[in-house]
Amino acid sequence: MREILGRRLQRLRDRFRSLRPSPERPAGAAPALLDAALECATVRQWPVLPGVGRSAADGSRCACPDPDCVVPGAHPFDPGLLAATTDPRMVAWWWTRRPAAPVLLATGGTAPCAVSLPAGAAARALVRLDAQGLRLGPVVATPTRWSVLVAPYSLERLGELLYAKNHVPSSLRFHGEGGYLLLPPSAASSGGRVRWEREPGAGSDLWLPEVEAVVDALVEASSGAPGGGSRLAY
């Protein structure tokens, strides 16, 4: 099965690399982001779209109109989040014209959701969850934050879960319906690259824990972060 999926993905890569690149595409640019977007859309059936990216004039700033953008380059803008798709033709059209665009997953619905927290706290939480024998799915890591992918949940279900907690640190972020998550190998808004701390398995058959199974460990780890976990580090 893995070999069949690999051949299918390679055919898609070969087909779309033959498209004429836009003038924005630098000579010899690596197709890693296009490959990652196509794999997410066609193999995993995750709806994706390109992030806004960094300003061409000033690489330290976001390409969006907000001069004080807190997640420079790492959010949807044009197209908007509702445009996220699994259509390989649309994905290829986007990334052959903007090959450096970050890859964003539109979370929720039938796609994975996620819970993110500061990197140090996340590392401690994963040690605890492993010790409990909990089976985890993929974990996305940036230099400052890690995101634990979980099974899709509704906002109502999440609200009931959090209401039962005595305290939920504001450094926790919940990426559910109407949210998004930056995927490897995109550039992180805090600098560096996004990577898989724990990689997803092959194909579309992906194991994801329920949010209830992980939230206690994530809350406890974030509460022990410097400053009580009250500051949201991107």
pLDDT digits (tens, 9 = 90+) for 151-183: 999 999 999 999 998 889 988 999 999 999 999
| Burial of residue 26 (number of CB atoms within 10 Å: 0-12, 13-18, 19+) | exposed
Helix (H, G, I), strand (E, B) or coil at 156: helix
Residue 100 parent element (H or E): none
Q: Are 78 and 53 in contact (CB under 8 A)?
A: no
List strands edge to edge, sheet with 113-118: 173-175, 113-118, 145-150, 139-141, 195-198
Helices (H), the chain: 2-17, 32-38, 88-97, 119-131, 155-163, 211-223
Average pLDDT, the chain: 85
pLDDT digits (tens, 9 = 90+) for 76-112: 999 999 999 999 999 999 999 999 999 999 999 999 9
Task: Give me the phi and psi of 35, to 5 degrees please.
Answer: -60, -45
Q: What is the pLDDT of residue 56?
A: 85
How far is Cα of residue 139 from the mean position of the Cα atoms in its chain?
9
pLDDT digits (tens, 9 = 90+) for 148-159: 999 999 999 999
Q: For the whole model, what pTM was predicted?
A: 0.84
Residue type at 220 in one-letter notation: E
Q: Is the pLDDT of residue 120 over 80?
A: yes
Q: How far is the CA of 16 from the CAs of 11, 29, 59, 104, in angstroms?
A: 9, 14, 27, 19
Q: Is the pLDDT of residue 29 over 50?
A: no
Show the tokens assigned to 163. 């209401």
Helix (H, G, I), strand (E, B) or coil at 21: coil
Q: What is the pLDDT of residue 218?
A: 93
Going by C-beta distance under 8 Å and a sequence separation of 6 or more, which residues neighbour residue 135? 207, 209
**Nearest-5° angle of CA 24, CA 25, CA 31?**
150
Of 79, 88, 74, whose CA–CA distance to 181 is shortest?
74
Cis peptide leading into 185, omega within 30 of 0?
Answer: yes
Residue that is written with structure tokens 């977007």 in the block: 37
